């Protein structure tokens, strides 16, 4: 029984329904130690036969048996293993991978073995040494002569120590000297106990071997033994074969990304700009939200919602509308806007309410200091709802004290801080039991100067002081507003809801409003704006996805031959798919990293530039934003490479090898 046996091989090509028989019944046997040349006229079917022997062509009739075992050509996995382990290919046009060094080219085949990294390298160097290329291991294929290239290809074919070496016109592109060198190497391989099958047009090459087969019209029409086969040698090196490891595929992808530096740099740059702008806008959204919250919280304590009497019967009115109506009512029917102690008890009973702090609010207050008079503003008693951060000089008001706004303090003295401690006469209008206006006058000491707008810091006085003054003037002393002390900020919303739902005599009694409501609205608007901006920036990510698709397609068509070579060396279809997916993922990852670094630099620069103006980090990129950016960029890369990498994996190996 021969080592390699072909039985009754038939193969036809079809053009439409028309059959073109190429191999018409081939029965052959080959043994180890043979150097067999297949001669024959062009188009006689030599390459077709080699593809069948080499496990590249599965679509034929007949059987191929190695060592007595018939190959099942239906099992792709089995054929991958066969190519990896048993077959070594040498092509006329060398088919070296141009972005790999000569050493790496040989290593690519060795990467499909179970040898360790160091062993692979050692073996690759030895093999290149054997073919006389020791000094050229770190060169790239295009830095070698044709003969040298073919020797690299031979070293690669021998890498996994296959039993069969198939060479299709190995000397077709070489001059006489190189032809001789290559033939000597092939002979030495046969001497080593391997089976060498060479397809050739050259009688000179054929005469070099141990046996010549002549093919004509799809059949072997002549067979000639030139000399005895070389004695069978015990194979010293048994190299165990293994599929390409994910890490090796990743390294190959990296080599190719590096090889195509400029193109990949531009794509990475494009994608990175997209990621950069999306992240920066999201970060800006966070920052603006944070800034507004910070500003508002500096004026008011969010744990203290404010409550006033509800005077509206319109159930559909918003809290703000109710509040406005209560304010207006104060001028016409003050009595209707006061909060009885009894009604406030209802609020006190709500869960999470620690205290209800009574207060007053009057419009059109004025005060005088010496001859300076300040007109027309709101008077509000100090409540814990007002943030003490608003006080820029002095302290919050105690008994017979007042806090005035900075703008008012400046009217009294340009050195506004010096106003603290001075006495002012405060005047405002309140109402008596008959709803008649009553003038209230009080002399108070300025305890502090506040800055921060309307949040009640203007004319803030102490509650007891105001109450005493009202009493003295004969005005109603019942509070007309209150601050609710809620235990935790997260309970404020539910407390305000409950306050607004309280009914007395069948009517809603209160209008409660928290600074949180205002913030919620602002936050929603800010988030929306930042998402819209990020989405606009996101359009560039679509562009980057298209760029990745185009590059992967280009990469696949440029590397069709390489795909064929890898498959011939035994790489599986899924290895090819992974190779291209890895390349896209790599570009996606690099883009994400570059985009993120740029976004952080942008954040730093923007925050630095605006710090003088707002003393707040206006761009705040969160961990969530970073994770989002990485995920989105990897997803884009994966989706973009999906179709091209599948196309690459599905390529027919024979067609791929024939690609220009
Ligand atoms: N994919 C294909 N589709 C259709 N016909 C094909 C295909 N590949 C090869 N053929 C035909 O099959 C025949 C044998 O081709 P093959 O390449 O095996 O010949 P060959 O003996 O190797 O020729 P050469 O010495 O010129 O390389 C030729 O007539 C060729 O046109």
Question: Which of 223-237, 253-267, 461-475, 621-635 is predicted with the least confidence, judged by mean pLDDT?
Answer: 223-237
Give the count of alpha carbons within 13 A of 502, CB side only.
23
4 lines ligand 1 (CB under 6 A): no
The reply to whether 458 falls in a domain is: yes
The phi, psi pair for 531, rounded to 5°, reads -65, -40
- The answer on 420 and 366 residing in a single domain is yes
Q: Ligand 1 pocket test: pick from 10, 47, 49, 58 the residue with the most ligand atoms within 8 Å of its Cβ.
A: 47
- The answer on 328 and 228 residing in a single domain is no
Domain boundary among 495, 514, 533: 514
The reply to whether 204 falls in a domain is: yes
pLDDT for 124 equals 93
The reply to whether 251 falls in a domain is: no
- The answer on 415 and 347 residing in a single domain is yes
Taking the centre of ligand 1 as the mean of its atom positions, its distance from the CA of residue 160, in whole angstroms, is 29
Q: Ligand 1 pocket test: pick from 43, 57, 218, 655 the residue with the most ligand atoms within 8 Å of its Cβ.
A: 43
pLDDT for 237 equals 66
Taking the centre of ligand 1 as the mean of its atom positions, its distance from the CA of residue 49, in whole angstroms, is 10
51 CA: nearest ligand 1 atom = 18
Other CB atoms within 10 Å distance of the CB of residue 439? 10
Other CB atoms within 10 Å distance of the CB of residue 222? 12
Buried b (16+ CB within 10 A) or exposed e, 104-143: bbbbbbbbbbebeeeebbebbbebbebbebeebbeebbee
Q: Of all protein residues, whose CA lies closest to atom 31 belonging to ligand 1?
A: 43
Domain count, the chain: 3
- The answer on 558 and 458 residing in a single domain is no
Domain boundary among 494, 514, 534: 514
Flag whether pLDDT at 457 surpasses 50: no
Of all residues in the chain, the percent with pLDDT exceeding 70 is 98
305 lines ligand 1 (CB under 6 A): no
Buried b (16+ CB within 10 A) or exposed e, 524-563: eebeeebeebbeebbebbeebbebbbebbbebbeebbbbb
Strand 219-225 versus strand 372-380 pairing type:
unpaired
43 lines ligand 1 (CB under 6 A): yes
The reply to whether 15 falls in a domain is: yes
- The answer on 199 and 137 residing in a single domain is yes
The reply to whether 100 falls in a domain is: yes
User: Which structural domain range is residue 8 located in?
Assistant: 4-242
pLDDT for 452 equals 67
Flag whether pLDDT at 72 surpasses 90: no
Flag whether pLDDT at 288 surpasses 70: yes
Strand 87-90 versus strand 164-168 pairing type:
parallel
3-state helix, strand, coil in the chain (%, to 5): 50, 20, 30
- Measured between alpha carbons, how far is 48 from 37 in angstroms, rounded to an integer? 15
48 lines ligand 1 (CB under 6 A): yes
Mean model confidence pLDDT for the chain: 87
Q: Would you put residue 548 in left (φ > 0), alpha (ψ -120 to 50) or beta?
A: alpha
The reply to whether 18 falls in a domain is: yes
The reply to whether 252 falls in a domain is: no
Q: Of all protein residues, whose CA lies closest to atom 26 belonging to ligand 1?
A: 42
Distances (CA, A) of 375 to 97, 134, 367: 88, 98, 7
Q: Of all protein residues, whose CA lies closest to atom 4 belonging to ligand 1?
A: 13
Flag whether pLDDT at 536 surpasses 70: yes
604 lines ligand 1 (CB under 6 A): no
- Specify the residue for token string 């039993």: 163
CATH code, 115: 3.40.50.300
The reply to whether 110 falls in a domain is: yes
Q: Ligand 1 pocket test: pick from 48, 49, 202 the residue with the most ligand atoms within 8 Å of its Cβ.
A: 48
Flag whether pLDDT at 76 surpasses 50: yes
pLDDT digits (tens, 9 = 90+) for 541-592: 788 788 888 888 888 888 898 999 999 988 999 999 999 999 989 999 999 9
201 CA: nearest ligand 1 atom = 25
- Measured between alpha carbons, how far is 433 from 474 in angstroms, rounded to an integer? 9
Q: Token pair for residue 206?
A: 């054929």
Q: Of all protein residues, whose CA lies closest to atom 25 belonging to ligand 1?
A: 42
Domain boundary among 484, 514, 544: 514
What is the full DSSP assignment across 349-365? TSTTEEEEEEE-EEEEE
- The answer on 352 and 271 residing in a single domain is no
- Residues 151/132, Cβ–Cβ less than 8 Å: yes
Average pLDDT (607-633) is 88
- The answer on 498 and 424 residing in a single domain is yes
Taking the centre of ligand 1 as the mean of its atom positions, its distance from the CA of residue 412, in whole angstroms, is 105
- The answer on 34 and 122 residing in a single domain is yes
- The answer on 203 and 288 residing in a single domain is no
- The answer on 581 and 473 residing in a single domain is no
- The answer on 525 and 503 residing in a single domain is no
pLDDT digits (tens, 9 = 90+) for 289-303: 888 877 777 777 778
Q: Of all protein residues, whose CA lies closest to atom 13 belonging to ligand 1?
A: 43
- The answer on 203 and 72 residing in a single domain is yes
pLDDT digits (tens, 9 = 90+) for 359-382: 998 877 888 888 888 876 788 888
Taking the centre of ligand 1 as the mean of its atom positions, its distance from the CA of residue 43, in whole angstroms, is 5
């Amino acid at each position: 029984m021969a080592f390699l046996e072909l039985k009754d091989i038939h193969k036809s090509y079809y053009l439409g329904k028309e059959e073109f028989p190429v191999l018409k019944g081939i029965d052959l046997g080959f043994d180890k130690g043979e150097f067999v040349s297949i001669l024959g006229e062009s188009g006689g079917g030599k390459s077709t036969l080699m593809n069948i022997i080499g496990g590249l062509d599965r679509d034929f009739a007949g059987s191929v048996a190695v060592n007595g075992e018939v190959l099942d050509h239906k099992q792709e996995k089995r054929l991958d293993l066969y190519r990896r382990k048993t077959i070594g290919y040498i092509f006329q046009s060398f088919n070296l991978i141009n972005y790999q060094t000569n050493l790496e080219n040989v290593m690519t085949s060795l990467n499909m073995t179970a040898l360790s990294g160091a062993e692979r390298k050692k073996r690759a160097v030895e093999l290149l040494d054997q073919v006389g290329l020791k000094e050229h291991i770190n060169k790239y294929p295009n830095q070698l002569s044709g003969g040298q290239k073919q020797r690299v290809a031979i070293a690669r074919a021998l890498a996994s120590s296959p039993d069969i070496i198939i060479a299709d016109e190995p000397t077709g592109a070489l001059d006489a000297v190189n032809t001789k060198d290559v033939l000597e190497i092939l002979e030495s391989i046969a001497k080593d106990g391997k089976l060498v099958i060479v397809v050739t047009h050259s009688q000179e090459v054929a005469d070099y071997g141990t046996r010549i087969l002549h093919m004509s019209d799809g059949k072997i029409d002549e067979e000639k033994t030139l000399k005895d086969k070389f004695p069978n040698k015990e194979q010293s090196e048994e190299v165990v074969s293994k599929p390409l490891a994910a890490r090796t595929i990743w390294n190959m992808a990296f080599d190719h990304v590096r090889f195509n530096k400029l193109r990949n740099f531009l794509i990475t740059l494009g994608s990175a700009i997209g990621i950069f702008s999306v992240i920066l806008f999201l970060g800006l959204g966070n920052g603006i939200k944070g800034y507004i919250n910070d500003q508002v919280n500096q004026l008011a304590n969010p744990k203290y919602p404010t409550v006033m009497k509800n005077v509206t019967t319109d159930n559909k009115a918003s809290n703000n509308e109710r509040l406005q109506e209560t304010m207006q009512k104060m001028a016409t029917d003050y009595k209707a806007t006061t909060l009885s102690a009894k009604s406030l008890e209802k609020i006190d009973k709500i869960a999470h309410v620690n205290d209800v702090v009574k207060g007053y609010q009057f419009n059109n207050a004025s005060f005088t200091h010496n001859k300076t008079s300040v007109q027309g503003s709101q008077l509000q008693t100090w409540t814990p709802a007002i943030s003490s951060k608003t006080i820029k000089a002095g302290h919050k008001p105690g008994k017979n004290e007042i806090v005035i706004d900075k703008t008012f303090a400046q009217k009294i003295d340009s050195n506004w801080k010096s106003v603290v401690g001075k006495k002012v006469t405060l005047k405002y209008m309140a109402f008596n039991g008959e709803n008649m206006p009553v003038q209230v006058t009080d002399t108070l000491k300025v305890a502090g100067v506040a800055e921060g707008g309307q949040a009640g810091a203007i004319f803030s006085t102490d509650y007891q002081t105001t109450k005493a003054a009202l009493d003295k003037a004969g005005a109603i002393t019942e509070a007309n507003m209150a601050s609710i002390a809620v235990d935790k900020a997260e309970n404020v919303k539910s407390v305000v809801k409950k306050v607004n739902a309280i009914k007395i005599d069948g009517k809603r009694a209160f209008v409660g409003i928290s600074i949180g409501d205002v913030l919620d609205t602002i936050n929603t608007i800010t988030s929306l704006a930042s998402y819209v901006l990020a989405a606009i920036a996101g359009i560039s990510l679509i562009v980057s996805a298209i760029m990745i698709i185009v590059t992967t397609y280009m990469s696949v068509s440029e590397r069709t031959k390489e795909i064929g070579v890898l498959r011939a060396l035994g790489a599986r279809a899924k290895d090819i798919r992974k190779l291209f997916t890895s390349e896209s993922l790599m570009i996606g990852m690099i883009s994400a990293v570059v985009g993120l670094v740029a976004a952080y630099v942008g954040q730093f620069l923007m925050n630095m530039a605006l710090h003088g103006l707002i003393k707040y980090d206006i761009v705040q990129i969160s961990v969530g934003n970073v994770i989002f950016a990485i995920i989105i960029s990897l997803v884009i890369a994966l989706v973009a490479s999906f179709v091209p990498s599948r196309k690459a994996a599905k390529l027919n190996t024979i067609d791929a090898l024939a690609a220009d």
